Amino acid sequence: MSCLVLSLPKKVCKDINSIIANYWWGNEEKERGMNWMRWKKLSETKVKGGLGFRDIQHFNVALLAKQLWRLITQPNLLVSKVFNSKYFAGSSPLAARKPKGAS
């Protein structure tokens, strides 16, 4: 996800979370295991009593924010120059608007 410059669809994030949960709760016979705790509780931080699993959708947003921060703070990097010339020509990444017809 850190290599992609796009937001993953919610369905994909939900499917990845489901795969992680199935692995965590599954057993050897590939049957559905017993859920001892809600996924929401498992994905809470350890300080709040959870196990610290990352919610994939929130993690994807955090990685996109990190890439935006790098574009702003390090404009001399090659990737910053390419992105600024291709996507943010004449404006700042913070002032960019979603183009018409974008999916």
Q: Using CA atoms in the order 79, 85, 90, 95, what is the torsion angle rounded to 10 degrees?
A: -40
- CB contact at 8 A, 39 and 17: yes
Stated pTM of the model: 0.69
Give per-residue pLDDT as tens, 65-81.
998 899 889 989 998 88
What is the predicted pLDDT for the residue at 3?
59
Rounded (5°) CA angle 45-49-55 = 35
Tokens standing for 103?
A: 């999916």
Q: Outline where the chain has alpha helix (H).
A: 10-25, 39-42, 56-73, 78-87
The amino acid at 84: N
pLDDT at 29: 62
Task: Give the pLDDT confidence of 16-68 residue by residue, as tens digits.
Answer: 988 887 777 776 666 666 667 777 787 888 898 888 888 888 899 999 899 88
